[in-house]
């Protein structure tokens, strides 16, 4: 059983007197993220003892046209809904895509369909919890029972927080220590069967497609003239096929070694899973237990290490940190975020987002992201570092918004958490490690084929100059039919100078904040003391309103030149 602390149930019930006949149960299952029929306990709860079940997805066409999500994300969602509808058809049912806002839609549906039970998957994110509380209130007023089941995360996040003295663990090591004391995640539920659905079939009218069909991108206001083929087709069917291929590929599971980064790693893989986990087309619990079973088969029933599930656990870590923090995607008012005095440079931000920084490695990554909706996790690290503490000194909040538009697997928790982590704004990271926008690409893909693929304007440059074409003699540039500053932009910054200054800025921030360790009553490491400081204006003349928090002045300090070993998270799967 799921839910926050078991299934959340509301609704009227009769008590006292002579029991009357059991009223007919007419269920509605509300799909949100869990766009699948496998491991869907809330859907199974809708079917249990019901006379009729309708499966709905609520889509606000106005929101689609005005939302931050880009066309690739909306295409993935619509394909996932089409796939879900196709699967339901095989069970003699259909998906009802209802237009409108949940708060407006449900009172009408409760009356029109005579609904007595509403089920949905628990949403741990702050906005989702607020929305669901309002819908549960409406349901209670209408006498509708509500059942909520937890299936989007491996663990009960509230239980993790409880075991960590009622606060979310803010380091991955601490998070691992907590979950190692917990029971294994529950096993995935079986898929819905045609026999179950036949017992509670709802009426499907002839005009279903016109009234409740899945809309097209054009209907939602998107221009599709220049839209290329989907590199990541949406839907549960594709997700399960990819899971099989993903596990077949994992010969490395036997010794569990991370695959090494190379040029092919940068391209979208037919075994990639992260968008399917984000939209719930694939159950994280099914992925977890398939990995576990494969490991035990190879290792003869040895207990697998936590590192085997690193891809899933980083996701869980960020979900836990975000669940009770509505400001998780912002700097100001965010209790775990260090208040770093970032610059505000919209021109530099726009060039970064559009892949026009003049650094081919960075621009190729951002072009791939815009075209395909996905980039490798180390490519994410490179462009995040470049925008924030590495080169441009722009706030991580700006990066969150761009990724939220372009990245298929971006969601509130993982997206914001990753940006805070990579910008050294939370979860503590070594701020003196910066990705070089030239050297990283050279090491990963010495031939430069990745750059040529996504920046064809540079395709005729020799490999020697592909990552720093501004150093090519003008004769080479002309021969390549690409003159730097004319056909391709000059570098937006001098990387060596910018990274040197930014390391000094970050060191200054940490040193100023760490001086005030003694003011806190609890003997915590200084990296955690720095996490609940009020926002400080970038101007060195502006003092914080808190007399115990220093103003942050960007004076010069010596540079740390030896970089530690860096262990990146792998959340792009």
Distance (Å) of CA 425 to CA 152, 312, 388, 420: 27, 22, 10, 5
Question: How far apart (Å, rounded) are the C-alpha atoms in residues 321 and 328?
Answer: 8
Closest by CA to 530, choosing from 510, 546, 554, 505, is: 510
Is 73 annotated to bind ligand? no
Is 77 annotated to bind ligand? no
**Both tokens of residue 519?**
């003011």
Residues 145 and 10: beta-carbon distance below 8 Å: yes
Name the β-bridge partners of 50: none
Closest by CA to 249, choosing from 279, 274, 269, is: 269
Residue with tokens 């004319």: 486
Residues 261 and 378: beta-carbon distance below 8 Å: yes
**DSSP structural state of residue 563:** P
Is 159 annotated to bind ligand? no
Is 198 annotated to bind ligand? no
Is 315 annotated to bind ligand? yes
Is 316 annotated to bind ligand? yes
| CB contact set of 446 (below 8 Å; sequence gap of 6+) | 463
**Both tokens of residue 240?**
């399960």
Q: Give, for 75, the enclosing helix (H) or strand (E).
A: helix 71-90
Beta strands 95-99; 52-59: pairing state: parallel
Question: How far apart (Å, rounded) are the C-alpha atoms in residues 401 and 407?
Answer: 10
Q: Give, for 207, the enclosing helix (H) or strand (E).
A: none
Question: How far apart (Å, rounded) are the C-alpha atoms in residues 234 and 272?
Answer: 12
Q: Coil, strand, or helix at residue 273?
A: coil
Is 183 annotated to bind ligand? no
Is 313 annotated to bind ligand? yes
Residues 44 and 92: beta-carbon distance below 8 Å: no
Residues 414 and 407: beta-carbon distance below 8 Å: no
DSSP 454-516: H-GGGTTS-TTTTT-GGGS-HHHHHHTT--BTTTBPPPSS-HHHHHHHHHHHHHHHHHHHHTT
Q: Give, for 277, the enclosing helix (H) or strand (E).
A: helix 274-278
Edge to edge, the sheet with strand 95-99 lists 95-99, 52-59, 26-31, 117-121, 145-149
Is 314 annotated to bind ligand? yes
| CB contact set of 520 (below 8 Å; sequence gap of 6+) | 529
Q: Give Rg (Cα) of the chain.
A: 26
Is 158 annotated to bind ligand? no
Is 347 annotated to bind ligand? no
Question: How far apart (Å, rounded) are the C-alpha atoms in residues 434 and 425?
Answer: 14
Residues 506 and 422: beta-carbon distance below 8 Å: no
How many helices (H) and strands (E) the chain has is answered by 23, 5
Residue with tokens 């078991």: 6
Is 386 annotated to bind ligand? no
Binding residues: 256, 311-318, 409-411
Binding residues for FAD: 256, 311-318, 409-411
């Amino acid at each position: 059983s799921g839910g926050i602390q078991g299934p959340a149930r509301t609704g009227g019930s009769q008590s006292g007197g002579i029991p009357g006949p059991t009223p007919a149960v007419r269920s509605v299952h509300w799909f949100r993220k869990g766009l699948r029929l496998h491991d869907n306990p809330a859907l199974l709860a809708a079917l249990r003892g019901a006379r009729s079940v309708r499966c709905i997805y609520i889509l606000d066409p106005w929101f689609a046209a005005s939302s931050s999500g880009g066309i690739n994300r909306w295409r993935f969602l619509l394909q996932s809904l089409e796939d879900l509808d196709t699967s339901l058809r095989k069970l003699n049912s259909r998906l009802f895509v209802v237009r409108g806002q949940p708060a407006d839609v449900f009172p009408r549906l409760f009356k029109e369909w005579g609904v007595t039970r509403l089920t949905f998957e628990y949403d741990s994110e702050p906005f989702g919890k607020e929305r669901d509380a309002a819908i549960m209130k409406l349901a209670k007023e209408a006498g509708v029972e509500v059942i909520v089941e937890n299936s989007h995360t491996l663990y009960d996040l509230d239980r993790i927080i409880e075991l960590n003295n009622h606060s979310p663990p803010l380091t991955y090591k601490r998070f691992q220590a907590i979950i190692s004391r917990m029971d294994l995640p529950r096993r995935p539920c079986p898929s819905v069967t045609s026999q179950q659905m036949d017992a509670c079939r709802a009426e499907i009218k002839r005009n279903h497609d016109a009234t409740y069909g899945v809309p097209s991108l054009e209907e939602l206001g998107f221009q599709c003239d220049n839209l290329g083929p989907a590199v990541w087709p949406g839907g549960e069917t594709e997700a399960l096929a990819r899971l099989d291929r993903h596990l077949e590929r994992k010969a490395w599971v036997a010794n569990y070694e991370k695959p090494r980064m190379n040029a092919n790693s940068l391209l979208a893989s037919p075994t990639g899973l992260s968008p399917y986990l984000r939209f719930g087309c694939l159950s994280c619990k099914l992925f977890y237990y398939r990995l576990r079973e494969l490991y035990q088969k190879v290792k003869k029933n040895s207990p697998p290490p936590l590192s085997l599930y690193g891809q899933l656990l980083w996701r869980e870590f960020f979900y836990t940190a975000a669940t009770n923090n509505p400001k998780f995607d912002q700097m100001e008012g965010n209790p775990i975020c260090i208040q770093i005095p970032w610059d505000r440079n919209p021109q530099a931000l726009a060039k970064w987002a559009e892949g026009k920084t003049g650094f081919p490695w960075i621009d190729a990554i951002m072009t791939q992201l815009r075209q395909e909706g996905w980039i490798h996790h180390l490519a994410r690290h490179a462009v995040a570092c470049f925008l924030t503490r590495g080169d441009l000194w722009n706030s991580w909040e700006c990066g969150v918004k761009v990724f939220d538009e372009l990245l298929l697997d971006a969601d509130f928790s993982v997206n914001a958490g990753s940006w805070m982590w990579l910008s050294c704004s939370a979860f503590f990271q070594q701020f003196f490690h910066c990705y070089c926008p030239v050297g990283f690409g050279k090491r990963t893909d010495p031939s430069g084929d990745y750059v040529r693929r996504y920046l064809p304007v540079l395709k005729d440059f020799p490999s020697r100059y592909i990552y720093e074409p501004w150093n090519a003699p003008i004769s080479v540039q002309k021969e390549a039919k690409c003159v730097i500053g004319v056909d391709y932009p000059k570098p937006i910054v001098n990387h060596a100078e910018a990274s040197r200054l930014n390391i000094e800025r970050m060191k200054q921030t940490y040193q100023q904040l760490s001086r005030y360790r003694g003011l806190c009553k609890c003997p915590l490491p200084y990296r955690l003391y720095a996490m609940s400081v009020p926002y400080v204006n970038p101007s060195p003349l502006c003092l914080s309103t808190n007399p115990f928090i220093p103003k942050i002045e960007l004076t010069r300090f010596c540079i740390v030149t030896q970089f530690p070993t860096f262990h990146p998270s792998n959340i792009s799967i």
